Each structure stands twice: as structure tokens, then as C-alpha cells.
Amino acid sequence: MQKERGMTKKAKKTILITGGNGFTGRHACRYFAGQGFHVISVVRSAGIENHDIQTEICELTNAEETSKLIQRVKPEYILHLAGQSNAGESWSQPISYMESNVMATLFLLEAIRIHAPSCKVVITGSILQYPLKESILPPHPYSLSKTLQIFASKSWANYFDLNIVIAKPTNLIGPGPSTGVCSILAKRVAEFEKTGKNDVLTNMDLQAKRVFLDVRDAIRAYHQLFLIGGQGKEYDVSFGTEATVGEAASILSSLAAVKFFVPEGVHEEKLSSLTRTGSKEFNCTSTIPLEQSLADTLDYFRNL
Amino acid sequence: MQKERGMTKKAKKTILITGGNGFTGRHACRYFAGQGFHVISVVRSAGIENHDIQTEICELTNAEETSKLIQRVKPEYILHLAGQSNAGESWSQPISYMESNVMATLFLLEAIRIHAPSCKVVITGSILQYPLKESILPPHPYSLSKTLQIFASKSWANYFDLNIVIAKPTNLIGPGPSTGVCSILAKRVAEFEKTGKNDVLTNMDLQAKRVFLDVRDAIRAYHQLFLIGGQGKEYDVSFGTEATVGEAASILSSLAAVKFFVPEGVHEEKLSSLTRTGSKEFNCTSTIPLEQSLADTLDYFRNL
């Protein structure tokens, strides 16, 4: 029998992490393995397995494949990160977003209901999911898919007495294959450094405010939700640093080995729904300052 | 070229009626054919084609089949009645309800967006769909599926500028293969007449109030919605007769050729969300009194 740190493998709790090869997924696999869990990463297709982590290939939009996986693994915990998350792309593939974000989640919950009913599940919603109101429709198909995903998941928790907790993360940043605003900026800075080309950094809206949270801090929060999260309850994971895109760009500028132009004009604006809404019910604090997150992100693109 | 009443077939507007062999669907096919439409009934499988009506077999939970159907037919109107509607059954088949009611509807709307973007669609929600509120979850998976179906359909209308109208019918009654409360009672009365067996009619809750609307009146309302319904708007089709189940039972008793026991005790109760909520925006009135609906329903079961 395989022994690890004096524990038999069986004694370890099994956590299944869907989207295990994604931006958050890679960090999550590493973190939970470090915390002594038996981690199984679930990825969509062969060739993107996680290094050093047991990987299962499963197309979660296929109910039967998903059911067989859960029946076989019977995990104690599931961190459900898989899904599609590009609002722009959702306009041209709205059905795919509904299948990946809504139905795949329900296939997973249904598999749990049947094969692992005491499993604790943390589902990551999105700060772009909308409050459900008759009069307000979500602004794009991605937002619709996240809104319905979370509403249906809470309903499932209620109907079938399942241990489902919802995490609503804000803008997660940090090293890795993210397509978020900080990664776009850091990637461009790394290009400047390589090519020596001195250009305008970005034509993004530098005054847009965000709550930036390091992905590694978010994962600590998800871990806490496995321990204290209430059934069917929703938790904002938005305890990061409030800053404008311009402020993030300025920090990256100060870290860069080359000089480049960051447009001026960082004004106060009315905070949008993207900013933090408070999370009194559980207490997580940011341990990684914005500067460190950005430095790590820049290093990631430098070494890519 | 086939001629009908002096019109070429092409000059007729084509209406596609999904769930064409269901309780409402059969009446709808007959009604719209009578109104001069070219009616195409869509049914799930072979062997349940409508008599005298062009029928297409299509599994609407299959996106590709649905897309091909719409591409080929390019209807001017669609009355979307297909779906699953048994709240009890939805507890054991929740995924099937989500697929039939939510995803099949979106596959249909997506096919329309691509192949027939000017098509006008009336989607029938349900009086059991719920107002979307964070704090209130629908009471069962059927209700969840109808709630999400309508919310997603309105979103689709908005995102893609599609001519989608939502009808929210109350309890529809009348002759045909319904599993509603009046049909259950009428079927039992017809059995009493055949067997001569004199028993208690029902142990249903006779004090439960409903708004009963004849299915044929509801279809006239759907027709009106094709003409005046606003894009993405929702209309209550609940202008029927408010009565208790006990009152319906008493009417059936008076129509029956045999005597049987209808328990007493029809009390006033606080009206539930099942009762009418008003529909100021369009004016339909009931043309078929409750007594006539019940007589026709009883005749249907007598002649089955």
C-alpha cells in the first residue's frame, strides 16, 4: 500500500477538482495536495493532464461520463471550477455556455446525489452572475449561464439535501494561464522586455475599478468554505485590493526592466457591481498584496 | 401545386406547433388549421402523428435535429408547447425536466436565431413558474425548469432581438389526454357510468381553488399573442373561472348518469399563487363556461 507522509492513501480525503488544468485549477491542485488531500484533477481532454497530480479525463457536458466518474471516485470533496468564462465569446456560442456552465454543473450534482450524497461541493459562481429579478436580465449569455448555474445549484441543494456551497469570486489574478486584465497587461510588459519595443501599454479603460484578489488567496477561501460553508449558501470571495486597471498598470511599469507609456488620468468612478459587496459570514483576508500578485504574474509571462 | 380554398399552399403562413400531439397541441393544430394556417405538428416519435395534420418527428432535446427542422421549414410562427409537465415526476427525473423544458427551448430559439430570425414564437410557461428572487427557490424541479425556461427565453429575446412572447397559462381543461385534476375526475365518472360502481369520487383536496380555463379559449389567447404580443413580454392566460376542485366535482356529478358521493365542505381559502393575477395588457375572455368544458371532458372519456 502506497504510503505518503505516514498516512495510507486511503486515510487522505479525496478532493476532485474540475477544470483542474485551468488558471485557478492548477493552483488549487497544488494547494490541496500540499494540505494533505488526495487530489484528482478532472480535465476535458487528454494532453492537458496536471503534472504530479492524478488526472481523470471527463467531458462534464456528458451526463453519463460524469456519472461514471463520480461513481468510481466517490470523492469527499469537489471543487467545481470547470466551465466557460469569456463574456465576449458567449455571444457567438450561447448554447455552449449554457451546456458547460448550467447543464454540466447539474450533471455533476445529479451524479453526486446518486453516487456520493454526502460529498461537500464548492461551486464557483462569478461576480458577473446577476441577482435574480424579473425586471433585470443578465447583460450577456455568460452572465445568464452563471446566474442560472447558481440558482439551479441552490435549488438542487434544497431539493435533494446536498451539501453545496456557492463561492462568488471577484477578479482573480496571479501567475498562470489567465485571460484576465492583469495577465493581459503583464504579458504585454514581458513582450516589451523581450523585444525592447517601447509602445503604449494598452488601450483598455484604465479608470475601470476592480477588486483584485490573488488566486492563491481565493483558494484558501474555498478551503475554508469546505469547512464552514452552509448548505445552499452563497459567499462573496472578494476581500482583495480595490484598484483601477491604471493602478495595476503603474505597478507593472515600476516592475518592468523597460520603460513604456502608461496613459495618465486615473479618476474616481462610481463603483460598479464588480466591486466587493462584503463577506461577513466568513473571514478570509488577503495574504498576497497586489504588488506581489503582479510581480508573480509578470514572472510567469517572462518565463513562459 | 396543391390548392386549398383557392390559396396556394405557399400563401398560407406556416405555424409550427411543438408538442403537437399533446393535450393542448391537438386542439392547437385543429384551431390554427381552421384559421387558415399551414400547420406543422412536431412530435417526439413516430406513431403519434396527428390525423390530417402534417407531422414532423423531431427530438427537440437534440440541438442538431431541431436546427435541421427549422432550417428546412423556416416557419413564420412557432407555438412551443412541448415539454414535461408533471411536478411529481420531476422529483425523480430532474435532469430530464431541465433538458426538455430549458435546453430544448434554447435549442429551438437558437435554431430560430440562425435559420428563421423573423419567426414569431409563443412559448408557454406555467402558472407554476416562479418569480425570480434570490430568496425564494421554486418548490420542485418542474417549477425550477419552467422558471429557468422563461428567464432564459426572455434573455434570448433581448440578446438576439428575437420575437419571443411568453404565455403563462393557468389550469387548462377540456376534452383530450390531459392529466389535470378535471380530467382525472371526469375519467373516474365515466368509469362509474360504465361499471355502475358507486364509490367515493376522489380523495383529492376538494377545497383547493384553481382558475380553470378551457384549452380552446387558451389557444385563442395564444393566437392573439401572435398578433399583439410584445417582444420578451409575459402574459397571464388566466381569464378562466375560479372554482374549487369540489365545485368541479359537483358539476360532474350533476352531469353523470349515475349517482356517487362527493364529499361536502367547500370552504373559502386564501387564494394561492395558482389563481389569476390579472392580464391587463391583452383582453381575452372565456367563451366556454366551466360546465361546458366539464361536459366535453366527460364525453371525451365516455367515448375513449
- ipTM of the complex in this document: 0.86
Mean pLDDT along residues A269-282? 45
Q: Which of B146, B99, B93, B142 is nearest to B123 (CA)?
A: B146
pLDDT of residue B273: 36
Instruction: Please indicate whether residue B271 or residue B123 has the higher confidence score (pLDDT).
Output: B123
Chain B CA closest to residue A136: B155
B281 — pLDDT class (breaks 50, 70, 90): low
pLDDT of residue B134: 61
A239 — pLDDT class (breaks 50, 70, 90): confident
pLDDT of residue B4: 47
- What superfamily would CATH give domain B173-211+241-302? UDP-galactose 4-epimerase, domain 1 (3.90.25.10)
Q: Are A163 and A121 in contact (CB under 8 A)?
A: yes
Tell me which of A189-198, B85-94, B234-243, B279-288 is least confident: B279-288
Chain A residues in contact with B132 (beta carbon < 8 A): 132-134, 151
**Torsional sign, CA B70, B71, B73, B78:** positive
Give A55's strand partners: A41
Each residue's pLDDT tens digit, B52-63:
899 999 999 999
A46 — pLDDT class (breaks 50, 70, 90): confident
Say whether pLDDT at A128 is over 80: no
Chain B residues in contact with A97 (beta carbon < 8 A): none
pLDDT of residue A303: 93
Nearby residues of A271 by Cβ (< 8 Å), 6 or more positions away: A209, A242
Question: What grid cell was written down for A273?
Answer: 457591481
Chain B residues in contact with A98 (beta carbon < 8 A): 102-103, 106, 152
Instruction: Please indicate whether residue B6 or residue B259 has the higher confidence score (pLDDT).
Output: B259
Q: Does B106 touch chain A (CB under 8 A)?
A: yes
Percent of chain B with pLDDT over 90: 66
Tell me which of A56-60, A126-130, A287-291 is least confident: A126-130
Average pLDDT, chain B: 87
CATH tag for B11-169 (out of 3.90.1150.10, 1.10.3720.10, 3.40.50.720, 3.40.50.460)? 3.40.50.720
Which stretch, B116-125, B190-199, B248-257, has highest mean pLDDT? B116-125
Please state at what angle helix B290-302 crosses helix B245-255, rounded to 10 degrees.
60
How far apart are the C-alpha atoms of B152 and A138, rounded to whole Å?
A: 10
Domain extents in chain B: 11-169, 173-211+241-302
B10 — pLDDT class (breaks 50, 70, 90): low
Yes or no, beta carbons of B103 and A99 under 8 Å apart: yes
Q: Are B122 and B79 in contact (CB under 8 A)?
A: yes
Q: Does B181 touch chain A (CB under 8 A)?
A: no
Q: Does B49 touch chain A (CB under 8 A)?
A: no
* CB crowding B182-206: b at 16 or more within 10 Å, else e: bbebbbbbbebbeeeeeeebbeeeb
Q: Does A168 touch chain B (CB under 8 A)?
A: no
Q: Does A154 touch chain B (CB under 8 A)?
A: yes
Chain A CA closest to residue B149: A148
Nearby residues of B196 by Cβ (< 8 Å), 6 or more positions away: B258
Each residue's pLDDT tens digit, B127-147:
766 666 666 889 999 999 999
How far apart are the C-alpha atoms of A184 and B6, rounded to whole Å?
A: 65
**A/B interface, count of CB pairs below 8 Å:** 67
Q: Exposure of A200 by Cβ count < 10 A (0-12 exposed, 13-18 middle, 19+ buried)?
A: exposed
Average pLDDT, chain A: 87
| Pairing status of strand A54-57 against strand A38-43 | parallel
Q: Best interface-test mutation with B: which of A89, A136, A155, A233 has the largest number of B CBs within 10 A?
A: A155
Say whether pLDDT at A8 is over 60: no
pLDDT of residue B280: 54
For residue A140, give how far its alpha carbon lies from the nearest alpha carbon of chain B (Å).
7
* CB crowding B77-112: b at 16 or more within 10 Å, else e: bbbbbbbbbebebbeeebbebbbbbbbbbbbbbbbb
Nearest CB partner across the interface for A95, out of B98, B110, B158 = B110
Percent of chain A with pLDDT over 70: 87
Nearby residues of A264 by Cβ (< 8 Å), 6 or more positions away: none
For residue A137, give how far its alpha carbon lies from the nearest alpha carbon of chain B (Å).
6
* 3-state secondary structure (DSSP) of residue A180: coil
* Helices (H) then strands (E): counts for chain A: 10, 12
CB interface of B with A, residues 60-79, below 8 Å:
63
Chain A residues in contact with B103 (beta carbon < 8 A): 98-99, 103
Yes or no, beta carbons of A134 and B138 under 8 Å apart: no
Nearest CB partner across the interface for B152, out of A107, A131, A148 = A148
